[in-house]
Chain A
């Protein structure tokens, strides 16, 4: 038995396991598989158009009768600064030359759009059971519309202060995202990476500070971790990295090799890939230019100039410029179907808790 049923009951899922929305490496396939396994599938919409998001949700709805979580970014959009872009391209110039690319050729801009009225209309139309946000919450008017559409609203906190802010500003559920987590740090009230606590010191402090249910995120990849998160007061866990090697993910062949070879010391928090701090498997550009570089243009524009390099290197089977986001539990990822993995994780957690309780 799960010691805390608050979120299972609200989500109406079999297990308190939320698939982390991992923009760029997954689509409806992984959402469907996790939902079939009894977890809450999350569709990352930050890199999709409203139209594409609608199409993906329709696929999910056709294939599985289960609640779904749509995830959006709500960073403050800033225009690309031509001077910084030029400087960044210059910084990356040697890599362009190495790969026979023209550093002055036009490139498609990085596409990570914040939640807006168009996305909100999609939410109102498709009525996802859950909507989660990264980097805070959208403006109150939009948030009200999301809630009026019947969605449970979740957002991530990287500090206790952010957790309190989220609760006060209308989040129904707070995700405590520890420094162990892969992908973008959700930080929105601070930009100090040095002060980001690990999952297991952040989690109980967030549980103490807010009344809403708390989801533990970051570094959890097996039954022991889930059981431990519940001991610390979590009502659910959000897991991403463990699902990266599932056949349903969209991780490239080269990415899968890198994940299989990663050790727990392979991941770093870097800002060079997108302009915002995120944890991923260290690659060549992170090592040589970062992991933290003052030259990286503001989010998401740092990704623009890396685009052609990523494509060129991946053609040679290399992940030198690929943002392979992953958390500190990277070595615990399993190469097995996601539905099966979801059930295995839940089973192992329940067994662990049952064994501890005698």
Chain B
């Protein structure tokens, strides 16, 4: 049975479950699997690899269910023309994270797509609303990949209060099951965005080994910091850092970030080689604190189905009252 909220109504989907745009991991295959299951898959446009984006959007152009395309905003600003490739695929929504959405907002809205902005503070939420965001994602520090420092339990009700009566708010960070969806709705969210849970899905474009590492990782075995970015010579703007599974490389460099920066050229070569060889003792598997809740690699449709069933049980299954709640 669908769980209807203001979010599902706005997006035209059955369940308030969004698959995060994990850079080049949420490819068209995972996007379609999640959207087929009644959620919203969001393509991981990431830093903006033109060839990859063209190939993936070519597939999505022929897809008729709602889907989204996501970008890292500050990186997109370096090749703004990529937004046109995205919009040609006629996504239901474009999701912008990490940076000022203003330069892209008018173009996205003019193309008839909804603008989803991921935020980590009230100031960012204000900036997003000022440029016409239709949906806000409130992201807690528990999230895998890039994010900031406030926890999900703090940021979700804060942004829900901030955006009350204006736009629906989606919770992100540390959520991987139906209890999490139910809890986030209790906090005032209209749905959830999950990355790590969908990383360990059959359809995610990631090495099998990385998916297995997520399933094997226990709670607490992730770390947020700058080591993985600096090892790739990626200088992210403040306040963003990245959370990944703890590994040898992180243990080696955590606390020695200055030296890492000084030796960036040498380390970057080592890191790139490890990444190419899928050596995850060095290369990052970006994952959130929910890893301890994830034990199996299953089709995305099964993930969506489980979460909906479990959330309904937790919410006692009486969905009719949910739609009135937003």
Query: Shortest distance in angstroms between B239's beta carbon and chain A's nearest beta carbon?
Result: 9
Query: Which residues of B208-244 have CB atoms within 8 Å of chain A's CB atoms?
Result: 218-225
Measured in the bound complex, the distance between the Cα atoms of B187 and A220 in whole Å is 10
A56 at the interface (CB under 8 A from B): no
Measured in the bound complex, the distance between the Cα atoms of B218 and A206 in whole Å is 11
Residues of B within 8 A of A357 (CB): 315-316, 318, 321
**Listed stretches B80-88, B102-110, B128-136, B287-295; interface member:** B287-295
Measured in the bound complex, the distance between the Cα atoms of B293 and A264 in whole Å is 27
Which 9 pairs between the two chains have the least Cβ-Cβ distance?
Answer: A358-B321, A201-B174, A358-B318, A201-B289, A228-B183, A198-B151, A228-B186, A227-B186, A231-B183
Contact of A228 with B141 in the complex, beta carbons under 8 Å: no
Known: A264-B155, A331-B158, A352-B186. 10 other contacts (CB 8 A): A178-B153, A180-B154, A194-B254, A201-B173, A202-B219, A205-B293, A219-B151, A228-B183, A230-B186, A356-B325
Measured in the bound complex, the distance between the Cα atoms of B121 and A205 in whole Å is 26
Measured in the bound complex, the distance between the Cα atoms of B138 and A200 in whole Å is 14
Contact of A201 with B152 in the complex, beta carbons under 8 Å: yes
Residues of B within 8 A of A198 (CB): 140-142, 151-153, 173-174, 289
A125 at the interface (CB under 8 A from B): no
A265 at the interface (CB under 8 A from B): yes
Residues of A within 8 A of B173 (CB): 198, 201
Measured in the bound complex, the distance between the Cα atoms of B221 and A329 in whole Å is 25
- Assuming A195-B221, A201-B174, A358-B321, is B121 touching A219 (CB within 8 A)? no
Contact with B along A322-358 (1 / 0, CB 8 A): 0000001101000000000000000000001101111
Contact-residue bracket for chain B: 35 or more
> Most chain-B CB neighbours within 10 Å: which of A198, A200, A219, A353?
A200
Contact of B183 with A159 in the complex, beta carbons under 8 Å: no
Contact-residue bracket for chain A: 35 or more
Query: Shortest distance in angstroms between B201's beta carbon and chain A's nearest beta carbon?
Result: 19
Contact with A along B184-202 (1 / 0, CB 8 A): 1111100000000000000
Query: Shortest distance in angstroms between B101's beta carbon and chain A's nearest beta carbon?
Result: 21
- Assuming A161-B218, A194-B224, A198-B289, is B150 touching A264 (CB within 8 A)? yes
A308 at the interface (CB under 8 A from B): no
Query: Shortest distance in angstroms between A54's beta carbon and chain B's nearest beta carbon?
Result: 37
Contact of B325 with A355 in the complex, beta carbons under 8 Å: yes
- Assuming A201-B174, A265-B121, A358-B318, is B154 touching A329 (CB within 8 A)? yes
B35 at the interface (CB under 8 A from A): no
Residues of B within 8 A of A205 (CB): 219, 292-293
Chain A residue with Cβ nearest B223: A194
- Assuming A195-B220, A356-B186, is B158 touching A204 (CB within 8 A)? no
Contact of A180 with B153 in the complex, beta carbons under 8 Å: yes
A160 at the interface (CB under 8 A from B): yes
Residues of B within 8 A of A358 (CB): 316, 318-322
B65 at the interface (CB under 8 A from A): no
- Assuming A201-B142, A204-B293, is B153 touching A356 (CB within 8 A)? no
B73 at the interface (CB under 8 A from A): no
B182 at the interface (CB under 8 A from A): yes
Contact of B153 with A204 in the complex, beta carbons under 8 Å: no
Contact of A200 with B153 in the complex, beta carbons under 8 Å: yes
Q: Name the contact of A200 in the complex, choosing from B149, B151, B223, B316 (C-beta under 8 A).
A: B151
Contact of A328 with B179 in the complex, beta carbons under 8 Å: no
Contact of B321 with A208 in the complex, beta carbons under 8 Å: no
Measured in the bound complex, the distance between the Cα atoms of B221 and A160 in whole Å is 10
Residues of A within 8 A of B319 (CB): 358
Q: Name the contact of B154 in the complex, choosing from A194, A206, A264 (C-beta under 8 A).
A: A264
Query: Which residues of A216-270 have CB atoms within 8 Å of chain B's CB atoms?
Result: 218-220, 222, 224-225, 227-233, 264-265
Contact with B along A164-208 (1 / 0, CB 8 A): 000000000000001110000000001000111111111011101
B6 at the interface (CB under 8 A from A): no
Q: Name the contact of B314 in the complex, choosing from A159, A178, A202, A231 (C-beta under 8 A).
A: A231
Contact of A224 with B151 in the complex, beta carbons under 8 Å: no
B180 at the interface (CB under 8 A from A): yes
